[in-house]
């Protein structure tokens, strides 16, 4: 078990802290999100995966982030209501965070270090220019990280990857 990963604390929507140890033995998809982003429809594919695999030990951890063109405006409660009503999401959503810069949350610092940025492409290149991300920083909303049952980050998935391809990666973990 990866004690370093499971020792990370995150903030619930109500501001209380939660240790990732609660997720030991589960496959995780961790994602930074925004309700006003062109990738917001990814919520549909994420919820479909969650419904299919949640009883097999799959969790999606959703961390809203307003760092990219302020696409996650509103309070945590407003964001939660939007996602619940528009996309019928039922997976866990945490307090809004920062994924880059001085106030980067510990979880995303760990994820970036464990799964360095490798993505390329015209669309992502454009987003990178807008975000001004450097090194392994998050390029945009809906960057996804897959964590295995032992707490090891096994893959970073950039937001421009089609949700069908994300689904294939998750499907492989449950075969």
- Residue 62 has a CB neighbour count (10 Å cut-off) of 20
pTM: 0.94
Residue 10 — pLDDT band, cuts 50, 70, 90? very high
Q: What is the pLDDT of residue 87?
A: 94
Can 37 be counted among the known catalytic residues?
Answer: yes
Task: Decide: residue 122, CB within 10 A, 0-12 exposed, 13-18 middle, 19+ buried.
Answer: exposed
Outline where 115-156 has alpha helix (H).
122-131
The CATH number for 60's domain is 3.40.30.10
Q: Is residue 131 part of a domain?
A: yes
Q: What is the pLDDT of residues 21-76, one digit of tens each?
A: 999 999 999 999 999 898 999 999 999 999 999 999 999 999 999 999 888 888 88
Q: Is residue 175 part of a domain?
A: no
Residue-level pLDDT at 132: 76
Domain, as residue range, for 13: 3-169
Categorise residue 115: left if φ over 0, alpha if ψ from -120 to 50, beta otherwise.
beta
pLDDT tens, position by position, 83-98 = 998 999 999 999 999 9
pLDDT of residue 135: 82
Number of domains in the chain: 1
Does the residue 174 lie in any domain?
A: no
104 lies in some domain: yes
Who has greater pLDDT, 127 or 157? 157
- pLDDT score at 134: 79
What is the average pLDDT value for the chain, to the nearest integer?
91
């Amino acid at each position: 078990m990866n004690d370093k990963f499971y020792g990370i604390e995150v903030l619930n929507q109500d501001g209380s802290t939660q240790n990732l140890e609660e997720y030991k033995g589960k496959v995780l998809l961790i994602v930074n999100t925004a309700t006003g982003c062109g990738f917001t429809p990814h919520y549909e594919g994420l919820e479909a995966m969650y419904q299919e695999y949640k009883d097999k030990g799959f969790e999606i951890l959703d961390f809203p982030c307003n760092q990219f063109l302020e696409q996650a405006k509103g309070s945590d409660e407003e964001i939660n209501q939007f996602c619940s009503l528009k996309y019928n999401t039922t997976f866990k959503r945490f307090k809004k965070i920062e994924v880059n810069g001085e106030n980067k949350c510990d979880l995303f610092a760990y994820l970036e270090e464990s799964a360095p940025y490798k993505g390329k492409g015209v669309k992502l290149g454009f987003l990178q220019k807008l975000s001004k991300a450097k090194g392994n920083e998050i390029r945009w909303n809906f960057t996804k990280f897959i964590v295995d049952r032992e707490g090891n980050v096994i893959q970073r998935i950039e937001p421009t990857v089609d949700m069908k391809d994300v689904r294939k990666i998750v499907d492989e973990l449950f075969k």
